Amino acid sequence: MKISDVLRLSLNSLTHRGLRSWLTILGIIIGVAAVVAMLSVGNGMTSSVESSMTGLGADILTVSAGYSQAEGSLSGFEGRRDFSGGPMPDIPFSPFSDDSSSSDDPVLTDSDISAISSADGIIAVSGIVSGRGEVKYLSESAQVSIEGVDPDAWAEITTSDLEAGRLLAYGDMISVVVGYDVAHNMFDTNLSVNTQIKIEGNTFKIVGIVGESGTGSFGGDDRTIFMSLTAARNIIDDVGSGEYSSIEVKISDAEYYSVISNNIEQALYESRYVTEDTQDFTVTSPASMAETITQTMETLSFFFIGIAAISLLVGAIGIANTMFMSVMERTRLIGILKSLGTRNSEILKLFLAESGIIGFMGGLLGIFLGLILVGLISTMGFSLMGLGRMGAGASISVVVTPDLILFALVFSTVIGIASGLIPARKAAKLQVVEAMRSE
């Protein structure tokens, strides 16, 4: 029996059992569509996270006061420990003490910057004073993030390009550089270079606008106003003189961020008189955060794929059930074919081709449905979930690759053939006399 005859007979059989065949194919369609949609969403979110982290600069490390055991945590102040090994002691109030230094919380100072600068693999170090403040422009006001920076070090460390104007320069006491969202999306009227704004009642002139980076949700520049350290300390109350909210470090090679991070830790152990057990600071990097988030995304993807695989399993059981019914219904036909000289291997091929066609058609239509779902998710799904943008300008997208399409099609076909294997072998082993006697 020729292959063309096998395919023709298989298609003819499926056509005559139209409703049953389509119901069987439907199980595969749902499973394949779910797998395509889940993998595409997972790949898209992973790609978006990696893109956002790249925008932050893989060669930038951040040192924060306070210890976090979760490596790559988005905040160095999470999981803060008791550094004395017991309850925090009560510190008596002194009317002569500075409010910024009366807290038990650890702080970063100029000595830490000096210690970090002496470590191997360091290109530039910049102390950061950060907080929030009210910005007024014309009759509007908004709360924004404020960062005080060392202009020289910041110019070397920042990963964002300028859309207009210039960066801060030494001596810019009343000048600021604003992020893309602050300039274009925060007020009804866009801000421009040389525009004057008020921050906490102080008047500043905009000398530069940062280009859109798409990393606002990850601490990027889009929603931030940058000014000199002195100006920031005058506006932000909870940072004392000579203290910093964090320290940014540009390293020589992003591939060795772990080694250089360890160098920084060793330098700070010595300067802050702490050990690994009493560590009161945290060193984080976009690379470590990206690894943590990517691993989480992959775990979620495997979880959802497992759920989708259940649909495929149900579809496979449906194919097996349909093929068993087909064998029972065509027992007499099998006997006739064998009496005419059809070999067992040809009977086996006939039923395997039938189950394979079910898997192939289910995979093909499942991919089509999956692409429709992917389109709906990319346009509406994330917006409904409040995840439409991972920061300004960085839309979360779904990624459908040719490899994924090919995998889904081949896998569904293999599932179909495997599901029909036992019924096909049963048909091939039927005795001619018994099959001919069947009604």
Residue with tokens 């920031």: 232
Note the pLDDT of residue 264: 92
Instruction: Check whether residue 387 and residue 270 sit in a common domain.
Output: no
The domain boundary residue, chosen from 231, 262, 284: 284
Instruction: Check whether residue 25 and residue 143 sit in a common domain.
Output: no
Note the pLDDT of residue 438: 58
Note the pLDDT of residue 26: 87
The domain boundary residue, chosen from 241, 267, 284: 284
Instruction: Check whether residue 362 and residue 392 sit in a common domain.
Output: yes
Mean pLDDT by 10 residues, the chain (439 residues): 68 73 85 84 72 64 76 39 36 37 70 90 89 90 90 84 89 91 90 92 92 58 87 83 87 82 90 88 77 75 77 84 80 76 79 86 90 79 47 56 86 88 82 65
What is the distance between the alpha carbons of residues 372 and 177, in angstroms, rounded to a whole number? 43
Q: In this structure, what is the dihedral angle of CA atoms 25, 26, 32, 36, given to the nearest 10 degrees?
A: 140
The domain boundary residue, chosen from 284, 315, 349: 284
Instruction: Check whether residue 251 and residue 165 sit in a common domain.
Output: yes
Instruction: Check whether residue 405 and residue 325 sit in a common domain.
Output: yes
Instruction: Check whether residue 272 and residue 394 sit in a common domain.
Output: no
Residue 389 is given by DSSP the state B
Q: Could you tell me which of 267, 271, 369, 260 has the C-alpha nearest to residue 26?
A: 369
Note the pLDDT of residue 333: 75
Instruction: Check whether residue 85 and residue 227 sit in a common domain.
Output: yes
Instruction: Check whether residue 86 and residue 153 sit in a common domain.
Output: yes
Q: At what angle do helices 286-329 and 331-339 cross, to 10 degrees?
A: 70
Residue 401 structural domain: 3-53+290-437
> What are the tokens at 136?
């007024």
Q: Is 225 helix (H, G, I), strand (E, B) or coil?
A: strand
Note the pLDDT of residue 101: 41
Note the pLDDT of residue 70: 44
Instruction: Check whether residue 231 and residue 127 sit in a common domain.
Output: yes
Instruction: Check whether residue 254 and residue 311 sit in a common domain.
Output: no
What is the distance between the alpha carbons of residues 32 and 153, in angstroms, rounded to a whole number? 52
Instruction: Check whether residue 131 and residue 195 sit in a common domain.
Output: yes
Instruction: Check whether residue 87 and residue 46 sit in a common domain.
Output: no
Task: Determine how β-strand 175-178 pairs with β-strand 202-210.
Answer: parallel
What's this model's pTM, rounded to 2 decimal places?
0.57
Contact 145, 135 (CB under 8 A): no
Residues in contact with 36: Cβ distance below 8 Å, sequence separation at least 6, in sequence order = 366, 367, 370, 371, 373, 374, 400, 404, 405, 408
Total structural domains within the chain: 2
Distances (CA, A) of 31 to 40, 175, 258, 310, 415: 14, 58, 41, 7, 11
What is the distance between the alpha carbons of residues 126 and 50, in angstroms, rounded to a whole number? 25
